[in-house]
């Protein structure tokens, strides 16, 4: 069974640009969540999608957005990048997001210069 796939693995962007990250969940999983990991703040929840609906959103500015497609694949977008957006962005998939275990992808390392 294929795991969670995130693309790309690495990205370097310039301040002010925008970026789109992609996540393909495990087959049959309908919940996809996104987390930002930084040395200072640790793992912080961005948002969660289930059947194309956002059910929860973390405390991030509106520059961070996401969506989920009918095949459960998800994308997150960050507009007007800031240096502080440099982080490892992790996607997690689970069957329903309600207490079953979540499986993570390898992450996308975003560097903003």
- Applying CB under 8 A, the residues found at the interface with another protein are 4, 6, 31, 33, 35, 42-43, 45, 48, 50, 55-56, 58, 90, 92, 97-107
Residue closer to another protein, measured from CB, 14 or 39: 39
Contact 88, 104 (CB under 8 A): no
**Residue 99: CB partners within 8 Å, gap ≥ 6?**
none
Residue closer to another protein, measured from CB, 90 or 112: 90
Least separation in angstroms between CB 16 and another protein: 28
Least separation in angstroms between CB 1 and another protein: 14
Residue closer to another protein, measured from CB, 35 or 64: 35
Beta partners for 80? none
Q: How far is CA 61 from the centre of its chain?
A: 15
What's the token pair of residue 44?
Answer: 């912080």
Closest CA to 109 of 79, 93, 85: 85
Least separation in angstroms between CB 102 and another protein: 6
């Amino acid at each position: 069974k294929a795991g969670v796939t995130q693309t790309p693995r690495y990205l370097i962007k310039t301040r002010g640009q925008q970026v789109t990250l992609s996540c393909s969940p495990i087959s049959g999983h309908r919940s996809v969540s996104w987390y930002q990991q930084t040395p200072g703040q640790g793992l912080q929840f961005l948002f969660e999608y289930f059947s194309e609906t956002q059910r929860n959103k973390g405390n991030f500015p509106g520059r961070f957005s996401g969506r989920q497609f009918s095949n459960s694949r998800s994308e997150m977008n960050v507009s007007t990048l800031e240096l502080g957006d440099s982080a490892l962005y992790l996607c997690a998939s689970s069957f329903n997001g309600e207490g079953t275990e979540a499986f993570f992808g390898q992450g996308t390392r975003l560097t903003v210069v």
